[in-house]
Amino acid sequence: MKTTVRITLGWLPGCALVLLLFGMADWAVGQTTGAELRLETGEEIFLAACNGCHGPGGMGQPQATLGFEPPGTFPDFTDCNGSTREKTFDWRATIHEGGAGRGFSPIMPSFAEALTLEQIDKVIKYLRSRCGEPAWPLGELNFPRALMTEKAFPEDELVLTTSVNTRGLKTVSTQLTYEKRYGARNQLELGIPLQFVNRDNGSWIGGLGDAVLGYKRVLVANNHTGSILSAQGEVTMPTGNRLRDLGAGVTVFETFAAFGQTLPGMAFLQMQSGAELPVDTSKSPRVAYLKMNFGKTLAQSHGFGRAWTPMADVVADREFATGERTNWDIVPQFQVTLNRRQHIRANAGLRMPLNNSGERSKQLMFYLLWDWFDGGLREGW
């Protein structure tokens, strides 16, 4: 879950007291048959277990009530920007394992002994209801980032992607992509590429490639059916040197739709379909493409630990020209979360041609991802 503050051990006495009081209340409930003391709803459980620190309605307890001085403000669960991004899976892990289990401060205690998973889910449902704006897609629609297929969910991420040809023209392509979310359904994207090419004489040259600027808009997000659909437009600018094979030398407009669908057992399907439309087809051809991604997330420690996601992209593209053939590729890959907070991730895969393999090379591909909205690079380890 997103928190906007760094929590220190200075909070321990106050929140430990809250946990102790809740434990006493829980014991009292177990000793009492009166229905008036039963904790049935998420709000009731929250008021008994979480209210001491997080305050009424999850907006943060006033310092005058706390009895200790926090180093900053508590997260406000009525703030949709912070409370909708993560999956129930992640909320459950943080409450069950405590802050230390997910790389937050240990002042957030573990409720593994005090609450059942059913009670934890009721608390999560209550906290999520505190966001009163249904336009915000929930984190269940935020699927793992694939190497080839664009996701539909808007993000705040920094991604460094590299691909290396295994034969033929020796090239190394690296792109740093910055993504910034605006509001519930918008995202701006900037891609800065660096290209490195091995010349015939054995020497390497490198430089700036063709920069990319894009805008994404979520069109439909249905949290009940687990579906999300977005549209994106991009422009690739000829910032690279075409004569040195560092760019296409032409402005290219790209438009596509991206779709995501939840499947049972933390599996998912993602699709992307679009076209690349250069302003000068003598320098670069027009291309239509379809990309599909299938995957399933697994988690250690009974679902509360490190996440592993095997997945595969299937890619088809074809030039807008008579007699051209459709190229088919498959990209098996494996994403893993690197830290406990899971906002630093890596993915590695191999792009393999399924046809026309004599004309196209295999590519090693990998990325490092930082979801900077969830914390700094050095946090959460």
DSSP classification of residue 15: H
Please indicate, yes or no, whether residues 248 and 277 belong to a single structural domain of this protein. yes
Please indicate, yes or no, whether residues 148 and 226 belong to a single structural domain of this protein. yes
Please indicate, yes or no, whether residues 317 and 261 belong to a single structural domain of this protein. yes
pLDDT < 70: residue spans in the chain: 1-38, 59-73
Asked which of 88, 105, 129 is the last residue of a domain, the reply is 129
Q: Which residue type sits at 202?
A: G
Please indicate, yes or no, whether residues 262 and 349 belong to a single structural domain of this protein. yes
Tens of pLDDT, residues 330-355: 999 999 999 999 999 999 999 999 99
pLDDT at 32: 38
**Sign of the alpha-carbon torsion through 7, 103, 114, 38:** positive
Q: Which residue type sits at 266?
A: M
Instruction: Go through the chain and tell me how many residues it has.
Output: 381
pLDDT at 354: 95
- For 118, the domain range is 9-129
User: Under 8 Å CB-to-CB from 322, ≥6 apart: which residues?
Assistant: none
- Any domain includes 331: yes
pLDDT at 72: 56
Among 153, 134, 132, smallest CA distance to 86 is for: 153
Please indicate, yes or no, whether residues 19 and 37 belong to a single structural domain of this protein. yes
pLDDT at 358: 79
Q: Which two tokens stand for residue 336?
A: 């893993």
pLDDT at 3: 41
Number of domains composing the chain: 2
pLDDT at 13: 37
Please indicate, yes or no, whether residues 222 and 333 belong to a single structural domain of this protein. yes
CATH at 18:
1.10.760
Asked which of 86, 108, 129 is the last residue of a domain, the reply is 129
Please indicate, yes or no, whether residues 82 and 26 belong to a single structural domain of this protein. yes
Please indicate, yes or no, whether residues 209 and 257 belong to a single structural domain of this protein. yes
- Any domain includes 155: yes
Asked which of 94, 129, 164 is the last residue of a domain, the reply is 129
- Any domain includes 3: no
Please indicate, yes or no, whether residues 339 and 199 belong to a single structural domain of this protein. yes
Identify the bridge partners of residue 222 per DSSP, sorted by sequence position. 227
pLDDT at 70: 57
Please indicate, yes or no, whether residues 120 and 176 belong to a single structural domain of this protein. no
DSSP classification of residue 324: P
Please indicate, yes or no, whether residues 213 and 333 belong to a single structural domain of this protein. yes
183-230-368-253 Cα dihedral, nearest 10 degrees: -110
Please indicate, yes or no, whether residues 64 and 206 belong to a single structural domain of this protein. no
Residue 262: other Cβ atoms inside 10 A: 18
Q: Which two tokens stand for residue 31?
A: 């000793």
Strand ranges for the chain from DSSP E: 157-165, 171-182, 186-198, 204-208, 211-222, 227-237, 252-263, 267-278, 287-296, 298-299, 307-319, 327-337, 344-353, 363-370
pLDDT at 4: 40
pLDDT at 54: 80
Tens of pLDDT, residues 107-147: 788 898 888 999 999 999 999 889 989 999 999 999 999 99
CATH at 361:
2.40.160.40
